[in-house]
Amino acid sequence: MVLIMEIAILDDWKKASQESGKLSMRELAREASSIEDRLTVGMKKNLEEPIYILRDPCGIRSSESRSVSYIFACSALIYLHVVLSGAHPDLPEIRESVSKSVKAFQALPDPTWVRHLVWPFCIAGCMVTVDGQDVFRDIATAANLDGHIFGNFEKALAIMERCWEGRQHQAKGGNAWDWKTSMDSLGQMVLLI
């Protein structure tokens, strides 16, 4: 969560620097690299940590906690790459992070958990290429087996669909569509929790 906050701060700094005409690509790349290194180390550590049968103080078994943390880290990487390079789903680093996210969502012991992972699901879903959109729809369908929607899951799906639609109709060289562009287009500001 701290690294997601740092990415958001970097995103704000980049936008402010662009507006003032003082964006240093070197500084942007250096800061992004530092965050990416820490995320990557954390993800590796997360996967190598032994799974304990005892419950932790929050009441979540370590295997579930590992899955949730990994999913957030994958989406944080996507967010970081979007800040650094723009919302271009075909970039190799974005494709790789989205692919890791998809595998992590599909590996969840209970598909309904996705309803509680709205932010990472929306971030990853907005950056999936056309050929992966149905995979996200399938994950959403599996998460909604009982027909109950919690939180902003339904709004996240609408944001993703709008992003895909906007990207499909955007002019060549136009601004790339991401979750923020989609929310603006829908006239909504959604807290993705």
Residue 152: which of 185, 193, 112 has the closest Cα? 193
pLDDT at 142: 86
pLDDT at 173: 59
Q: Are 66 and 45 in contact (CB under 8 A)?
A: no
Q: Are 85 and 114 in contact (CB under 8 A)?
A: no
pLDDT at 47: 80
Q: Which residues of 38-76 are buried (b: 16+ CB within 10 A; e: fewer)?
A: ebeeebeeeeeeeeeeeeeeeeeebebbbbbbbbbbbbb
* Helical pair 153-169 and 133-143, crossing angle rounded to 10 deg: 170
pLDDT at 152: 78
Read off the DSSP letter of residue 110: S
What does the pLDDT look like over 170-185, one tens digit per residue? 766 566 888 888 888 8
CA–CA distance, 101 with 93 (Å, rounded to integer): 12
pLDDT at 181: 87
What does the pLDDT look like over 33-43, one tens digit per residue? 999 999 999 99
Q: Provide block-wise average pLDDT over 10 residues at a time, the chain (193 residues).
A: 94 95 96 96 84 55 79 96 94 96 91 88 94 92 68 84 89 75 82 63
Q: What is the pTM of this model?
A: 0.87
